[in-house]
């Protein structure tokens, strides 16, 4: 699903690369935690997968495509296969829950009949049935993140990128979100999630990739957040 082959990313005006000769592979259907301190390269990793950045050196393969050779007009097609969730939800405040989810389909030109069918389905998956007409500011943080996950998942992506999805949520709510991401993973979507949330990583016991200073310092299946320090 994702293959990094000796990938180096050096931002302009910076001496130290954000990622330094990183090679790793994530298989289809995996659930991967990306951990590490701030500035360790997690966000760069995710941005490279989304082709928001290009690597300075090396190759990034996503869903069978080498992103360096992907022409600009094919980027949207790549991103339609990838769902994205952020710490800050990124919902449209002037649209209702259902409209926020429908927006993702409208802007890629899906027919209205299809949208009317799949939006209620995905809202049921994330547990928001009955709240379709609410505005984001009428929802709790956990509910807002569920809307964002629904939006990311409504087009049934093969890969879900979650950038600290529980970073703004209390522990109880976070557990609910993790259950949801786990369910989406069970439905066949590969999930890559960056996080600082030790309790969650320790509890889930999934593959953990730890980055530090742009290097992979640990890649462990059924791992925990960190060694006892």
- Site residues for another protein per CB under 8 A: 50, 72-73, 75-82, 84, 90, 92, 103-104, 106-112, 151-152, 155
Q: How far is the CB of 55 from another protein (least distance, A)?
A: 17
Residue among 103 and 225 whose Cβ is closer to another protein: 103
**Closest distance of CB 189 from another protein, Å:** 15
End-to-end CA separation in angstroms for the chain: 33
CA–CA distance, 5 with 25 (Å, rounded to integer)? 9
* Contact by Cβ (8 Å): 25, 192: no
Shortest Å distance, C-beta 181 to another protein? 17
Q: Which is nearer to another protein, 155 or 173 (CB)?
A: 155
Is the Cβ of residue 75 or residue 224 nearer to another protein in the bound state?
75
Output the six-digit token pair for 161: 């990128």
Cα dihedral 105, 89, 196, 36, rounded to 10, equals 60
Q: Closer CB to another protein, residue 50 or residue 175? A: 50
Minimum CB distance to another protein smaller for 48 or for 152: 152
Nearest-approach distance from CB 76 to another protein, in angstroms: 4
Minimum CB distance to another protein, residue 167 (Å): 18
């Amino acid at each position: 699903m994702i293959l990094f082959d000796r990938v180096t990313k050096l931002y302009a005006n910076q001496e130290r690369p954000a990622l330094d000769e990183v090679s790793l592979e994530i298989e289809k259907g995996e659930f991967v935690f990306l951990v590490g301190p701030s500035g360790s390269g997690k966000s760069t990793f995710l941005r490279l997968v989304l082709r928001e950045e290009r690597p300075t050196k090396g190759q990034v393969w996503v869903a069978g495509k080498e992103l360096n050779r992907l022409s600009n007009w094919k980027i949207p097609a790549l991103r339609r296969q990838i769902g994205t969730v952020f710490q800050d939800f990124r919902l449209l405040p002037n649209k209702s829950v259902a409209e926020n989810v429908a927006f993702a389909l409208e802007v890629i030109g899906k027919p209205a009949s299809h949208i009317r069918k799949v939006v209620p389905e995905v809202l049921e998956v994330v547990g928001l049935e009955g709240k379709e007409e609410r505005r984001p500011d009428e929802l709790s943080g956990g509910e807002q993140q569920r809307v964002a996950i629904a939006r990311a998942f409504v087009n049934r992506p093969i890969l879900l990128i979650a950038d600290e999805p529980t970073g703004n949520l209390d522990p109880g709510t976070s557990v609910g979100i993790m259950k949801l991401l786990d369910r989406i993973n069970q439905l066949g979507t590969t999930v890559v999630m960056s996080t600082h949330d030790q309790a969650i990583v320790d509890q889930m016991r999934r593959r953990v990739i730890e980055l530090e200073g742009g290097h992979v310092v640990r890649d462990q299946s059924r791992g925990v957040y960190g060694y006892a320090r």
